[in-house]
Copies of this chain bind each other. A is one copy, B any other.
Protein backbone atom coordinates (compact mmCIF):
# COMPACT_ATOMS: atom_id res chain seq x y z
CA UNK A 1 0.00 0.00 0.00
CA UNK A 2 3.00 2.24 0.53
CA UNK A 3 3.68 2.31 -3.18
CA UNK A 4 0.16 3.53 -3.78
CA UNK A 5 0.74 7.03 -2.46
CA UNK A 6 4.32 7.30 -3.66
CA UNK A 7 4.30 9.78 -6.50
CA UNK A 8 2.52 12.90 -5.41
CA UNK A 9 0.37 14.39 -8.18
CA UNK A 10 2.85 17.10 -9.14
CA UNK A 11 2.79 20.08 -6.81
CA UNK A 12 -0.90 20.50 -6.38
CA UNK A 13 -1.47 22.73 -3.34
CA UNK A 14 -1.41 26.16 -4.94
CA UNK A 15 -0.25 24.23 -7.98
CA UNK A 16 3.18 24.83 -9.48
CA UNK A 17 3.97 21.88 -11.77
CA UNK A 18 7.13 19.99 -10.90
CA UNK A 19 8.60 20.61 -14.34
CA UNK A 20 8.20 24.32 -13.80
CA UNK A 21 9.88 24.20 -10.39
CA UNK A 22 12.86 22.49 -12.00
CA UNK A 23 13.23 25.36 -14.46
CA UNK A 24 12.86 28.23 -12.00
CA UNK A 25 16.53 28.02 -10.91
CA UNK A 26 17.52 28.28 -14.55
CA UNK A 27 15.50 31.44 -15.03
CA UNK A 28 16.83 32.81 -11.80
CA UNK A 29 20.39 32.32 -12.93
CA UNK A 30 19.77 34.08 -16.23
CA UNK A 31 17.93 36.91 -14.47
CA UNK A 32 20.73 37.35 -11.95
CA UNK A 33 23.19 37.77 -14.81
CA UNK A 34 20.92 40.43 -16.35
CA UNK A 35 20.55 42.12 -13.00
CA UNK A 36 24.32 42.37 -12.65
CA UNK A 37 24.45 44.07 -16.03
CA UNK A 38 21.75 46.46 -14.75
CA UNK A 39 19.27 45.45 -17.43
CA UNK A 40 15.89 46.77 -16.24
CA UNK A 41 13.43 44.62 -18.22
CA UNK A 42 13.55 41.55 -20.39
CA UNK A 43 11.10 39.96 -22.82
CA UNK A 44 10.07 36.33 -22.61
CA UNK A 45 11.84 35.76 -25.91
CA UNK A 46 15.20 37.08 -24.71
CA UNK A 47 15.04 35.40 -21.34
CA UNK A 48 13.98 32.11 -22.88
CA UNK A 49 16.97 32.22 -25.20
CA UNK A 50 19.30 32.87 -22.26
CA UNK A 51 17.82 29.99 -20.31
CA UNK A 52 17.74 27.68 -23.29
CA UNK A 53 14.00 27.04 -23.34
CA UNK A 54 10.94 27.76 -25.47
CA UNK A 55 9.46 31.21 -24.83
CA UNK A 56 5.88 29.96 -24.59
CA UNK A 57 6.98 27.51 -21.93
CA UNK A 58 8.67 30.30 -20.01
CA UNK A 59 5.58 32.47 -20.12
CA UNK A 60 3.41 29.61 -18.95
CA UNK A 61 5.88 28.88 -16.16
CA UNK A 62 5.70 32.48 -14.98
CA UNK A 63 1.94 32.47 -15.23
CA UNK A 64 1.88 29.93 -12.39
CA UNK A 65 3.60 32.47 -10.17
CA UNK A 66 1.17 35.22 -11.09
CA UNK A 67 1.03 37.98 -13.68
CA UNK A 68 4.34 39.70 -13.25
CA UNK A 69 4.87 40.87 -16.82
CA UNK A 70 3.78 43.97 -18.68
CA UNK A 71 2.38 43.42 -22.17
CA UNK A 72 4.30 45.27 -24.80
CA UNK A 73 7.31 45.60 -22.49
CA UNK A 74 8.31 42.37 -20.80
CA UNK A 75 9.30 41.47 -17.25
CA UNK A 76 10.93 43.65 -14.64
CA UNK A 77 14.22 41.89 -13.90
CA UNK A 78 14.63 42.85 -10.24
CA UNK A 79 11.03 42.12 -9.39
CA UNK A 80 11.17 38.73 -11.06
CA UNK A 81 14.42 37.84 -9.29
CA UNK A 82 12.68 38.55 -6.03
CA UNK A 83 9.51 36.65 -6.86
CA UNK A 84 11.33 33.54 -8.02
CA UNK A 85 13.69 33.64 -5.05
CA UNK A 86 10.74 33.85 -2.74
CA UNK A 87 8.90 31.06 -4.48
CA UNK A 88 11.95 28.78 -4.29
CA UNK A 89 12.46 29.61 -0.65
CA UNK A 90 15.82 31.29 -1.20
CA UNK A 91 15.00 34.33 0.88
CA UNK A 92 15.75 32.27 3.93
CA UNK A 93 18.92 30.46 4.97
CA UNK A 94 19.19 26.72 4.51
CA UNK A 95 21.76 25.03 6.72
CA UNK A 96 23.19 21.96 5.01
CA UNK A 97 25.38 19.11 6.20
CA UNK A 98 27.73 17.21 3.90
CA UNK A 99 28.40 13.62 4.89
CA UNK A 100 31.49 11.85 3.51
CA UNK A 101 34.41 14.20 3.08
CA UNK A 102 36.44 12.27 0.50
CA UNK A 103 37.34 13.41 -2.99
CA UNK A 104 33.84 14.47 -3.88
CA UNK A 105 32.74 15.70 -0.48
CA UNK A 106 35.78 17.96 -0.24
CA UNK A 107 35.11 19.34 -3.72
CA UNK A 108 31.53 20.07 -2.74
CA UNK A 109 32.64 21.78 0.46
CA UNK A 110 34.93 23.99 -1.61
CA UNK A 111 32.21 24.80 -4.09
CA UNK A 112 31.51 28.51 -4.05
CA UNK A 113 28.07 28.35 -5.64
CA UNK A 114 26.94 26.64 -2.48
CA UNK A 115 26.88 29.62 -0.17
CA UNK A 116 25.89 32.08 -2.86
CA UNK A 117 22.20 31.22 -2.84
CA UNK A 118 21.13 30.88 0.74
CA UNK A 119 22.72 27.49 1.34
CA UNK A 120 25.10 27.49 4.27
CA UNK A 121 27.33 24.54 5.07
CA UNK A 122 26.57 23.90 8.74
CA UNK A 123 29.00 21.02 9.09
CA UNK A 124 31.17 18.44 7.34
CA UNK A 125 30.84 14.91 8.67
CA UNK A 126 32.94 11.79 8.14
CA UNK A 127 33.28 8.38 9.77
CA UNK A 128 37.07 8.44 9.49
CA UNK A 129 38.33 9.48 12.91
CA UNK A 130 41.64 10.42 11.30
CA UNK A 131 39.92 13.20 9.37
CA UNK A 132 38.26 14.71 12.42
CA UNK A 133 39.40 18.24 13.09
CA UNK A 134 41.09 18.65 9.73
CA UNK A 135 40.09 21.85 7.97
CA UNK A 136 38.34 21.54 4.62
CA UNK A 137 37.27 24.77 2.96
CA UNK A 138 37.81 26.49 6.28
CA UNK A 139 35.53 24.16 8.21
CA UNK A 140 36.66 21.43 10.59
CA UNK A 141 35.56 17.90 9.72
CA UNK A 142 33.41 16.54 12.52
CA UNK A 143 32.93 12.90 13.43
CA UNK A 144 29.75 11.21 12.23
CA UNK A 145 28.71 10.56 15.82
CA UNK A 146 28.02 14.25 16.18
CA UNK A 147 25.41 14.06 13.39
CA UNK A 148 22.33 14.03 15.58
CA UNK A 149 23.48 16.92 17.74
CA UNK A 150 24.55 19.04 14.79
CA UNK A 151 21.30 18.52 12.90
CA UNK A 152 19.27 19.39 15.97
CA UNK A 153 21.33 22.40 17.03
CA UNK A 154 21.42 23.96 13.57
CA UNK A 155 17.93 22.93 12.51
CA UNK A 156 19.40 21.29 9.42
CA UNK A 157 16.75 20.06 7.02
CA UNK A 158 18.92 19.31 3.98
CA UNK A 159 21.65 16.68 3.87
CA UNK A 160 24.17 15.90 1.12
CA UNK A 161 25.52 12.36 0.93
CA UNK A 162 28.97 11.79 -0.58
CA UNK A 163 29.90 8.55 1.14
CA UNK A 164 30.61 5.24 -0.60
CA UNK A 165 27.46 3.49 -1.81
CA UNK A 166 27.57 0.93 0.96
CA UNK A 167 27.24 3.55 3.68
CA UNK A 168 24.59 5.70 2.00
CA UNK A 169 21.46 3.99 3.32
CA UNK A 170 22.75 3.91 6.87
CA UNK A 171 23.69 7.59 6.72
CA UNK A 172 20.29 8.35 5.24
CA UNK A 173 18.49 6.59 8.06
CA UNK A 174 20.45 8.54 10.64
CA UNK A 175 19.87 11.85 8.87
CA UNK A 176 16.14 11.20 8.60
CA UNK A 177 15.88 10.06 12.22
CA UNK A 178 17.65 13.26 13.25
CA UNK A 179 15.12 15.39 11.41
CA UNK A 180 16.50 15.92 7.89
CA UNK A 181 13.70 15.88 5.31
CA UNK A 182 15.59 16.57 2.06
CA UNK A 183 18.53 14.59 0.76
CA UNK A 184 20.84 15.10 -2.18
CA UNK A 185 22.50 11.78 -2.91
CA UNK A 186 25.74 11.42 -4.87
CA UNK A 187 26.26 7.76 -4.02
CA UNK A 188 25.17 5.27 -6.69
CA UNK A 189 22.40 3.60 -4.68
CA UNK A 190 18.65 3.67 -4.46
CA UNK A 191 17.73 5.12 -1.09
CA UNK A 192 14.59 4.20 0.83
CA UNK A 193 13.05 6.98 2.84
CA UNK A 194 9.74 7.42 4.62
CA UNK A 195 6.94 9.54 3.17
CA UNK A 196 7.55 13.23 3.46
CA UNK A 197 11.27 12.98 2.81
CA UNK A 198 12.52 14.13 -0.60
CA UNK A 199 15.49 12.54 -2.28
CA UNK A 200 17.21 13.82 -5.38
CA UNK A 201 20.15 12.01 -6.86
CA UNK A 202 23.14 13.03 -8.93
CA UNK A 203 24.60 10.08 -10.73
CA UNK A 204 27.59 10.59 -12.96
CA UNK A 205 27.63 7.01 -14.08
CA UNK A 206 24.04 7.10 -15.30
CA UNK A 207 24.62 10.32 -17.20
CA UNK A 208 27.61 8.84 -19.00
CA UNK A 209 25.70 5.71 -19.91
CA UNK A 210 22.87 7.76 -21.39
CA UNK A 211 25.41 9.67 -23.46
CA UNK A 212 27.00 6.40 -24.57
CA UNK A 213 23.61 5.12 -25.74
CA UNK A 214 23.04 8.13 -27.97
CA UNK A 215 26.64 8.06 -29.10
CA UNK A 216 26.33 4.47 -30.22
CA UNK A 217 23.11 5.32 -31.97
CA UNK A 218 24.74 8.19 -33.85
CA UNK A 219 27.63 5.96 -34.91
CA UNK A 220 25.18 3.35 -36.14
CA UNK A 221 23.00 5.73 -38.13
CA UNK A 222 26.01 7.29 -39.75
CA UNK A 223 26.65 4.27 -41.91
CA UNK A 224 22.98 3.28 -42.22
CA UNK A 225 20.07 5.45 -43.29
CA UNK A 226 19.62 8.60 -41.23
CA UNK A 227 16.15 7.53 -40.12
CA UNK A 228 17.44 4.39 -38.43
CA UNK A 229 14.26 2.47 -39.19
CA UNK A 230 13.82 0.02 -42.03
CA UNK A 231 16.65 0.08 -44.61
CA UNK A 232 13.97 0.99 -47.17
CA UNK A 233 15.46 1.19 -50.66
CA UNK A 234 19.18 0.80 -50.44
CA UNK A 235 20.89 2.76 -53.23
CA UNK A 236 22.16 -0.06 -55.45
Q: Residues of A at under 8 Å CB distance from B?
A: 3, 6, 11-14, 21-22, 24-26, 28-30, 49-52, 54, 87-90, 92, 94, 96, 103-104, 106-108, 110-111, 113-114, 117-119, 157-158, 181-184, 188, 190, 192, 196, 198, 200, 202-218, 221, 227-229
Contacts of A158 in B (CB 8 A): 208, 211-212, 215
Rounded to whole angstroms, the CA-CA distance of A144 and B213 in the bound complex is: 27
Shortest beta-carbon distance from A12 to chain B in Å: 7
Copies in the complex: 2
Shortest beta-carbon distance from A99 to chain B in Å: 15
Contacts of A92 in B (CB 8 A): 216
Contact (Cβ within 8 A) A52 B107: no
Shortest beta-carbon distance from A166 to chain B in Å: 11
Shortest beta-carbon distance from A116 to chain B in Å: 8
Rounded to whole angstroms, the CA-CA distance of A196 and B218 in the bound complex is: 8
Shortest beta-carbon distance from A220 to chain B in Å: 9
Contact (Cβ within 8 A) B90 A209: yes
Contact (Cβ within 8 A) B13 A229: yes
Known interface pairs A25-B206, A117-B205, A119-B208. Does A89 touch B213 (Cβ–Cβ under 8 Å)? yes
Contacts of A21 in B (CB 8 A): 210, 213
Contact (Cβ within 8 A) B51 A88: no
Q: State which of B188, B207, B215, B227 has its C-beta within 8 Å of the C-beta of A181.
A: B215
Q: State which of B6, B49, B198, B204 has its C-beta within 8 Å of the C-beta of A111.
A: B204
Contact (Cβ within 8 A) A12 B228: yes
Shortest beta-carbon distance from A39 to chain B in Å: 17
Rounded to whole angstroms, the CA-CA distance of A3 and B47 in the bound complex is: 13
Contact (Cβ within 8 A) B200 A207: yes
Contacts of A181 in B (CB 8 A): 215, 218
Contacts of A110 in B (CB 8 A): 103
Contacts of A24 in B (CB 8 A): 209, 213
A-B CB proximity, top 8 nearest: A89-B216, A13-B228, A103-B107, A52-B190, A182-B211, A25-B209, A25-B206, A107-B107
Contacts of A182 in B (CB 8 A): 211-212, 214-215
Contact (Cβ within 8 A) A103 B113: no
Rounded to whole angstroms, the CA-CA distance of A183 and B117 in the bound complex is: 26
